[in-house]
Chains A and B, each alone.
Chain A
């Protein structure tokens, strides 16, 4: 079990351990594990050690270092950082090195974090298993025969395998929470607009939100405090949202009204349901008032999502045309170059969604598809608002099942899409939600509990998450796959 981000930051800031040491540990762990885990797509050893060295120099000079001093951090490879390639796990961007860094990256670095590498994902964040990566799937550290979930599977796996204490992912329909649940770590999707999207390669702009992965609730709280806030480079970012999240640890639950979302329980594995009920019982014991609540509108979430997200994606991904950056396959004229480049560069799932989205936006179909889906989005928001008249927060399963095997759903897109049925409504509503590891099924596979809160309700959401973490015993679930364990500790 690796150290937490807050422990590392304290050790480095006080000069007891060096940032370079932690960076080297993380880089070595990537090198040892990546052959079987494939959590990372790229590293830049020199840049990482140089950044860590700067932190150590600051400490030595008695300068103030940030709240993440020397903390090794992994970035999902759809976020830009100067010095690292950004591929989005797509052949179309293979080798593209951005000339600028995402706002979240700048904020993390300003607090002393040291980025150690870019993590694997489903191509352009489209998928729920990381099997759609053009550079091969990531394996679940708990069971190498199973998927880590997705699309932020690489970040989840990197944290679950204790390669890094902290990683960033992006969540458009569950892409942080579902892999967090399947790998037994904490994963947070903040309120839409709380974290700047500048420098995140867009999938579905109105739904995308960056958030942290960590092994403790406290580390995610710390990370979210660092990366949230107004950004003048993102028009949709919230002005003035500043949370006190770390301080929510241990705040009593007395009188907090928590609803279990009935619709999210439908169709879930029995062991998942049992975990949610057990977590509810623990919350009651802690003083919360727990009851069931029905939000029937959420049933429409999946359908609306698979209109809105592909529609926006079809437009967002148009720029990958072979003209300015990334892959270029020459044709006899520019139109043919566009087509050849995109045919060669995009994988099947990306093509499927571009086609879906293009169709949904076509004149004559717009009202029936995109227009209708927007109405559903509003309905779901209202449904949540109704629930929040009687409840302060909600809980539910994150994923209907625990981690599934490779190939199990890859050939059946609809079955794959159903992985996100409990997570999508929060994206459509723009509300915060997170996955907190709580228990494991009979095969030892982790089960996370989803905590949902109203817009900007992050403080209460974290208070509940801390409570769940405490009642579960804390520290994540499921032990590493023995084969991985052996590689990770090999030679020691």
Chain B
């Protein structure tokens, strides 16, 4: 277990009154990208017609029994390994409670002996967040409330249940209370999501519910060693909600303490519209889940060789990728460009271009500035088109301005960059011709040229603009600037 005391951020968040700090841990549920469900052969598929991916097992019909999906177990263990956790012998438990989205009226989950324990994750900032556990469990069905005015549970006239999601494999990743600010929470979820996507565990779609986050938040005066009462916040459907909810909740708790009140241990709901958290239930009302070992499943006893095989099969993780890109472009630590370039959605494009031998700086620039702005990249835009484009720019067959235009059009029309270039009639000036053009501009604007030579450096922009205008954008801005500099020093 990580000692949270050694992991405090150097400074408390600025939105809290002086002397207070946040103690936050996150519980992240991720749906696993398996072919079939956790305990039966039904398809694990988002968006199917309601109640079509169902069978006696995931409907909890009398007499049906669960059988563990080996693919899900493998992915769950990969998550543990990617989070530096110990993959250990474990068992399943039943968590008993009545709710109509839970066909058996118990959830098969892991309790005191999870598959993965004691890991950690290092944020881009270098802060280390402990991972207490990452365990397997089954998802519930999905209830839609109909009728009534609010569209919410209260006042609804009836409820429809779709059991397609029932039995979909989940891994719940529980962090230590090492997160000291809303921004660290955002970084943590971002990094975790990138890891899950990198190892093929999840598609990371928060909007489809395949990544769901609950936050445990408490506050305390800086210097106090004991944890104070925490509240669990649910319904955090986006990174934005996560940041806003933790901010609100920490401020609320400080206000309660400042007014000499007591924070109650509660489950609270983030109300996005009103931008507040609302109490759902207090600890006294919490259910007794009557956990006991699931008798219908056998204990999991992963062997060393099985774990070793999974470890070897792990791909490059975001952190390694970040360090590698920094190294390639000659940076000591990651900047925003690097962070963008390692987005899971851009992995394939960046790797393809690097493998094609394109200058890493150019790859990172085009990926983080242009390609990232075009997310989500539509299916049909081929990996090598991006490397082709970068290569054309590197070989100065396109100016940077042209490259940006071609990239945009190439993604939009799902067309190879060479074809786009021809279609747009783009040709690149060769250097001799560009020099001739620049010289004629200098002659035509002799006044400005004299002033520039006298030290009015802001006139550089004027000349670049004139060059671009005259060449119809075919000139490479950087080359033009260099030639301008040569002319200046020559005279």
Given A98-B61, A99-B61, A358-B290; A235-B100 close (CB under 8 Å): no
A401 at the interface (CB under 8 A from B): no
Bound: A96/B59 CA distance, A:
14
Residues of A within 8 A of B96 (CB): 314-315, 318, 361
Is A334 a contact partner of B100 (Cβ separation < 8 A)? yes
Bound: A230/B430 CA distance, A:
76
Question: Which single residue of chain A is at the shortest CB-CB distance from B159?
Answer: A334
Is B104 a contact partner of A79 (Cβ separation < 8 A)? no
Question: Which single residue of chain B is at the shortest CB-CB distance from A232?
Answer: B67
Is A319 a contact partner of B63 (Cβ separation < 8 A)? no
In this complex, the member of B63, B94, B296 whose beta carbon has the largest number of chain A beta carbons within 10 angstroms is B63
Given A315-B94, A315-B106, A321-B98; A362-B65 close (CB under 8 Å): no
Residues of B within 8 A of A362 (CB): 288, 290
Q: For chain A, residues 402 to 459, give those with C-beta under 8 angstroms from any C-beta of chain B.
A: none
Is B295 a contact partner of A312 (Cβ separation < 8 A)? yes
Question: Which single residue of chain B is at the shortest CB-CB distance from A197?
Answer: B65
Residues of B within 8 A of A108 (CB): none
Is B65 a contact partner of A319 (Cβ separation < 8 A)? no
Binds B, one of A129-137, A199-207, A216-224, A380-388: A199-207
Taking the closest CB of chain B, its distance from the CB of A169, in whole angstroms, is: 15
Question: Which single residue of chain A is at the shortest CB-CB distance from B96?
Answer: A315
Taking the closest CB of chain A, its distance from the CB of B103, in whole angstroms, is: 7
Is A235 a contact partner of B66 (Cβ separation < 8 A)? yes
Is B292 a contact partner of A370 (Cβ separation < 8 A)? yes
Bound: A362/B100 CA distance, A:
22
Given A311-B292, A361-B96, A362-B288; A236-B298 close (CB under 8 Å): yes
Question: Which single residue of chain B is at the shortest CB-CB distance from A88?
Answer: B62
Is B62 a contact partner of A98 (Cβ separation < 8 A)? yes
Q: For chain A, residues 296 to 354, give those with C-beta under 8 angstroms from any C-beta of chain B.
A: 311-312, 314-315, 318-321, 323-325, 334-335, 338
Taking the closest CB of chain B, its distance from the CB of A101, in whole angstroms, is: 10
A167 at the interface (CB under 8 A from B): no
Bound: A102/B68 CA distance, A:
19
Bound: A206/B104 CA distance, A:
17
Taking the closest CB of chain A, its distance from the CB of B65, in whole angstroms, is: 5
Is A205 a contact partner of B296 (Cβ separation < 8 A)? yes
Taking the closest CB of chain B, its distance from the CB of A123, in whole angstroms, is: 13
Is B65 a contact partner of A233 (Cβ separation < 8 A)? yes
B148 at the interface (CB under 8 A from A): no
Q: For chain A, residues 157 to 203, give those with C-beta under 8 angstroms from any C-beta of chain B.
A: 197-202
B56 at the interface (CB under 8 A from A): yes
A128 at the interface (CB under 8 A from B): no
Bound: A234/B39 CA distance, A:
11
Residues of A within 8 A of B63 (CB): 78-80, 86, 98, 100, 102, 197-202
A366 at the interface (CB under 8 A from B): yes
Q: Pick the contact of B292 from A334, A338, A366 — CB < 8 Å?
A: A366
Is A80 a contact partner of B290 (Cβ separation < 8 A)? no
Residues of B within 8 A of A334 (CB): 100, 159
Given A98-B61, A324-B59; A315-B290 close (CB under 8 Å): yes
B316 at the interface (CB under 8 A from A): no
Residues of A within 8 A of B103 (CB): 319, 324
* Contact flags A79-106 to B (C-beta < 8 A → 1, else 0): 1100000101000010010111010000
Is B56 a contact partner of A99 (Cβ separation < 8 A)? yes
Question: Which single residue of chain B is at the shortest CB-CB distance from A326?
Answer: B62
Q: Pick the contact of B65 from A86, A234, A318 — CB < 8 Å?
A: A234
Residues of B within 8 A of A361 (CB): 96, 290-292
A363 at the interface (CB under 8 A from B): yes
Taking the closest CB of chain B, its distance from the CB of A94, in whole angstroms, is: 13
Q: For chain B, residues 44 to 76, give those with C-beta under 8 angstroms from any C-beta of chain A.
A: 56, 59-68
Q: How many residues of B contact A (CB 8 A)?
A: 29
B12 at the interface (CB under 8 A from A): no
B431 at the interface (CB under 8 A from A): no
Given A233-B67, A358-B290; A319-B295 close (CB under 8 Å): no
Taking the closest CB of chain B, its distance from the CB of A260, in whole angstroms, is: 32
Bound: A166/B290 CA distance, A:
40
Is B62 a contact partner of A86 (Cβ separation < 8 A)? yes
B255 at the interface (CB under 8 A from A): no
Taking the closest CB of chain A, its distance from the CB of B99, in whole angstroms, is: 8
Q: For chain B, residues 263 to 314, give those with C-beta under 8 angstroms from any C-beta of chain A.
A: 288, 290-292, 295-298
Residues of A within 8 A of B327 (CB): none
Residues of A within 8 A of B98 (CB): 318, 321, 335, 338
B105 at the interface (CB under 8 A from A): yes
Residues of B within 8 A of A363 (CB): 288, 290
Bound: A232/B41 CA distance, A:
11
In this complex, the member of A79, A102, A312 whose beta carbon has the largest number of chain B beta carbons within 10 angstroms is A312
Taking the closest CB of chain B, its distance from the CB of A263, in whole angstroms, is: 26
Is A236 a contact partner of B62 (Cβ separation < 8 A)? no
Residues of B within 8 A of A204 (CB): 295
Bound: A233/B94 CA distance, A:
19
Bound: A186/B104 CA distance, A:
35
Question: Which single residue of chain B is at the shortest CB-CB distance from A342?
Answer: B98
Residues of B within 8 A of A98 (CB): 56, 61-63
Bound: A177/B296 CA distance, A:
24
Residues of B within 8 A of A370 (CB): 292
Taking the closest CB of chain B, its distance from the CB of A178, in whole angstroms, is: 23
Question: Which single residue of chain B is at the shortest CB-CB distance from A80?
Answer: B63
Bound: A236/B293 CA distance, A:
14
Is A325 a contact partner of B61 (Cβ separation < 8 A)? yes
Bound: A361/B298 CA distance, A:
20
Residues of B within 8 A of A198 (CB): 63-65
Bound: A18/B67 CA distance, A:
40
Bound: A315/B297 CA distance, A:
15
Residues of B within 8 A of A199 (CB): 63-64
Question: Which single residue of chain A is at the shortest CB-CB distance from B92?
Answer: A235
Q: List 30 A-B contacts (CB under 8 A).
A: A80-B62, A86-B63, A98-B61, A100-B63, A100-B64, A198-B65, A199-B63, A202-B296, A204-B295, A206-B295, A233-B65, A234-B65, A234-B67, A235-B296, A312-B295, A314-B96, A315-B94, A315-B96, A315-B292, A318-B98, A318-B105, A319-B62, A319-B103, A319-B105, A321-B98, A321-B105, A334-B100, A361-B96, A362-B290, A366-B292
Query: Which residues does B use to contact A, with CB under 8 Å?
Result: 56, 59-68, 94, 96, 98, 100, 103-106, 159, 161, 288, 290-292, 295-298
Q: A98-B61, A319-B62, A324-B59 are known contacts; what are 15 more A-B pairs with Cβ within 8 Å?
A: A80-B63, A86-B63, A93-B62, A96-B62, A102-B63, A235-B68, A235-B296, A236-B298, A315-B94, A318-B104, A318-B106, A320-B62, A323-B100, A324-B60, A366-B292
Report the 7 A-B pairs with minimum CB-CB distance, sorted nearest first. A318-B105, A361-B290, A206-B295, A205-B295, A201-B62, A199-B63, A201-B63
Query: Which residues does A use to contact B, with CB under 8 Å?
Result: 78-80, 86, 88, 93, 96, 98-100, 102, 197-202, 204-206, 232-236, 311-312, 314-315, 318-321, 323-325, 334-335, 338, 358, 361-363, 366, 370
